[in-house]
Chain A
């Protein structure tokens, strides 16, 4: 049985290898958290009709707010909503309505960057940064865990319950040297 078994744990079946089992659970939890980061399809119930999708995709240009046409309650937004309804009724698609406004007012009228070309960076970079930093943290945790295990093993062999506090300075230096060598060999 591994030295990190806790008294009272059953040494067989589900809890036969606590360290490995714990690491497994940790991975499940870590993966769960990362999966939670995966963008959920953006389809809130409130924005399902073509009219609502078009209103949601355009910013109001009334000059008094940073709101989408859908949320702004000013006169400009009301006029744009009527215009969108008219265009959709005449057979235009949502994309065509949006493009017509972009042609008239420029890219700035879109409420969010498009998911192509340079603008794709806006969407990708935050998640990429979090996932990269997450990978770094996993690597660091493993390294620190290995360091802790070496120390625990050395101290455990000495039979001391309270690790470093009871070591003489000579022993401590020796331990540090062993640890350095161990890390070099990893």
Chain B
């Protein structure tokens, strides 16, 4: 089976290479047969990579420890769910999974667009296949998943205990779907540049792919935060780890693109900028992978390091040269009619919004890479940790929130001061009222006050946008309130889906603010019957619990949770000791409410004295982060729903592009 897997990968390399070459030559000499052959080769590549994955999973499930990958990332007692997840637990497996996702995207693009976008598709296929060839080269020669061992161990080393968590089984696929999805808009951008067809077809065609990538990348980041929160046992969810940053940076630039593309749609402006943002997002996703894989920057994500860093650096350099070269070559075609009617317009606020989002991405990238820069310039390696990022990122977030509150109420083209003041009155009043209320209730933390006040501003603006829109529709159509509200949303899915996403982001900001500014913690070493306090809670050790499972042994401490003398629940934090021999992993227990989380970790246990060392946190409002994530997902889904008006506009754009050929 291992030889079969290797053969599949080698054949996939050949078919992907053929797809790249045939598609490019088909486009150059306008040969329909070559182009068709390339498209079929894309389908064949997908099939071969899928077979390689089936082969690797078969080897994992049948405990073939004569294979290095299986022996390193699986063991006999590993539950079935994690045997599936073992595919992306190691370096070569995760690259194989990456290629599979890329091939799946390629197949979807070919099936959906080979007839609709004949002009762009050959170069799109060339680009997608080119990226596929690079990853297949890694798999066939540098990070081979089907390498055998001379002596098979009786059992495998098992999966990293921290990865044995349901969220971790979903988090990497989401991130990969997001990262890899950014290749599709990049491929269309390159095709538009190469063919010179730089009108709006390329971004209208790929917008759905971009939103999907943005959405799954965001979901992946949130799931990663959740995983860190429930698994890593330090009471937090985001540590500005280089690998976390690597996923966050392209998400920020894609967010900028999703906003600025609206200006291109309406005003035919910012064409070079939008093209640059799509290229930048893809390059940053490759840079992120480079950071993840090369180990060039130290990170907690050290599961998958190897020496493929130079290959990634080379590929990144090639992509930069090709895309920037094409962009410069086509600059004359991308000249747009840059005209603004007024400084106070939606267009202007979008420009500043882009500045802040790309500025935020740059700030995070700068902080992530600064240790390397410092080492290169001064020869001194330094750490750029959470305090730096918090200090840099918080003011930028405040500025973005200010714009999020103002932008929706400023009209396109030109806002009159009368209208602007009329519209801003209520949201601004809500912000002032919220601030006064917080001060009256004794809140003095400056960060929290500003953050909550701006959150109130954005929420009020967004709610008022829904209200104003419904009221206007009701007046125009005489519909009932509910019908007017629903029809308003149904006919403007992107706009109102976007507003729901804004609400989700604000809820996340509220959760982050509450859990950062008002966090409380306490720790103690307790014997049976002893207690310690954190905030208003008292925690009393009831008993030490131990359990045995085929995969691990669990040792934990059961504690009664008392609030004002009354027991409100029990918590059972502990540690898992894996039989495959890895370090123990902490298993936190959380009492979760909308107001706060009581988060409990057992950091140590003394078997001689029967005493457990415990650490407790109170994380206020932390659940609003996950609720905000759900709202964000809901809004994104709504914005992605099929929109007839959008389809018509896309069809019209394609027709416009085809007209010169008809002549």
Bound-state CA distance A75–B601 (Å) is 13
| B447 contacts A25, C-beta separation under 8 Å | no
What separation, in Å, do the CA atoms of A39 and B403 have in the docked complex? Answer: 17
Complex formed: what's the CA distance from A127 to B367 in Å?
12
Question: Is A65's CB within 8 Å of the partner chain B?
Answer: yes
B344 adjacent to A144 (CB under 8 Å): no
B111 within 8 A of A: no
In the complex, the answer to whether B344 meets A26 with C-beta atoms within 8 Å is yes
Q: Is the CB of B385 within 8 A of A66?
A: yes
Name the distance in Å between B15's Cβ and chain A's nearest Cβ: 41
Interfacial chain A residues near B304, Cβ < 8 Å: none
The answer on a CB contact under 8 Å between B417 and A18 is yes
Asked if B241 and A22 sit within 8 Å, CB to CB, the answer is no
Distance A137 CA – B362 CA, assembled complex (angstroms): 17
Q: Which residue of A lies closest to B413 (CB)?
A: A148
Q: Whole-angstrom distance between the alpha carbons of A48 and B345 in the complex?
A: 43
Which residues of B from 402 to 429 have beta carbons under 8 Å from A?
402-403, 406, 414-418, 420-421
CB <8 Å contact, B348 and A141? yes
Q: Is A44 an interface residue (CB 8 A)?
A: yes
Known contacts A22-B342, A108-B382; is A40 also within 8 Å of B445 by CB?
Answer: no
Check A73–B362 contact: CB distance below 8 A: no
Is there an interface contact between B519 and A46, defined as CB atoms closer than 8 Å? yes
Contacts of B444 in A (CB 8 A): 45
CA distance A106 to B388 in the complex (A): 18
Which of B122-130, B275-283, B370-378 interfaces with chain A? B370-378
Q: Assess the B387–A112 pair: CB atoms within 8 A.
A: yes
A170 within 8 A of B: no
Check if A130 sits within 8 Å of B356, measured CB to CB: yes
Chain A residues, Cβ within 8 Å of B387: 42, 56-57, 68, 111-112
A160 interface hit (Cβ, 8 Å): no
Interface with A: B194-202, B333-341, B527-535, which one? B333-341
Q: Which of A1-52 contact B (CB under 8 A)?
A: 4, 6, 8-10, 14-15, 18-19, 21-26, 29-30, 32-34, 36-46
Q: How far is the CA of A145 from the CA of B344 in the complex (A)?
A: 10
Contact of A37 with B395 in the complex, beta carbons under 8 Å: yes
* Closest-CB distance, B280 to chain A (whole angstroms): 14
* Smallest beta-carbon distance A127→chain B, Å: 8
Q: With A and B bound together, what is the CA distance between A40 and B399 in angstroms?
A: 12
Cα–Cα distance between A29 and B403 once the two chains are bound (Å): 8
Chain B's closest residue to A23 (CB) is B343
Instruction: Report yes or no: A33 in contact with B384, Cβ–Cβ below 8 A.
Output: no
Interface residues of A: mostly helix, strand, loop or mixed? helix
Task: Tell me, rounded to whole Å, the shortest Cβ–Cβ distance linking B497 to chain A.
Answer: 25
Q: Does chain A have a CB within 8 A of B398?
A: yes
Q: Is A165 close to B, CB under 8 A?
A: no
Q: By the criterion CB–CB under 8 Å, are A65 and B352 in contact? A: no
Tell me if B486 is interfacial: C-beta within 8 Å of chain A: no
A64 touching B300 in the complex, CB below 8 Å, given contacts A110-B382, A110-B383 = yes
Tell me if A161 counts as interface (CB < 8 A to partner B): no
| B421 contacts across to A, CB distance below 8 A | 25
Q: How many angstroms from the CA of A177 to the CA of B420 in the assembled complex?
A: 36
**Would you call B447 and A40 a contact (CB within 8 A)?**
yes
Residue of A nearest to B233 (CB): A73
Chain B nearest CB, measured from A148 CB (Å) = 4
User: B355, B417, B450: which contacts A137 (Cβ < 8 A)?
Assistant: B355
CA distance A143 to B398 in the complex (A): 28
B252 to chain A, nearest CB (A): 13
* Contact in complex: B417, A25 (CB < 8 Å): yes
State A152–B340 Cα separation when bound (angstroms): 10
A24 to B398 alpha-carbon distance, docked (Å)? 22
A122 at the interface (CB under 8 A from B): yes
Q: What residues on A are CB-neighbors of B604 within 8 Å?
A: 75
Tell me which residues across on chain B come within 8 A of A14, comparing CB atoms. 417
Contact: A126 with B340, CB < 8 Å?
no
Q: State the CA gap A78–B604 with chains docked (Å).
A: 11
3 closest cross-chain pairs (CB), A and B: A126-B363, A130-B359, A148-B339
Known: A71-B239, A73-B234. 7 other contacts (CB 8 A): A18-B418, A29-B344, A41-B446, A72-B234, A108-B382, A111-B388, A129-B362
Binding site for B on A (CB under 8 A): 4, 6, 8-10, 14-15, 18-19, 21-26, 29-30, 32-34, 36-46, 56-57, 59, 64-68, 71-75, 78, 106-113, 118-119, 121-123, 125-127, 129-130, 133-134, 137, 140-145, 147-148, 151-152
22 interchain pairs, CB-CB under 8 A: A14-B417, A25-B420, A32-B402, A34-B399, A42-B391, A45-B448, A66-B239, A71-B235, A73-B233, A75-B603, A106-B380, A122-B384, A126-B392, A126-B396, A129-B359, A133-B355, A134-B352, A142-B343, A143-B338, A144-B339, A145-B343, A152-B341
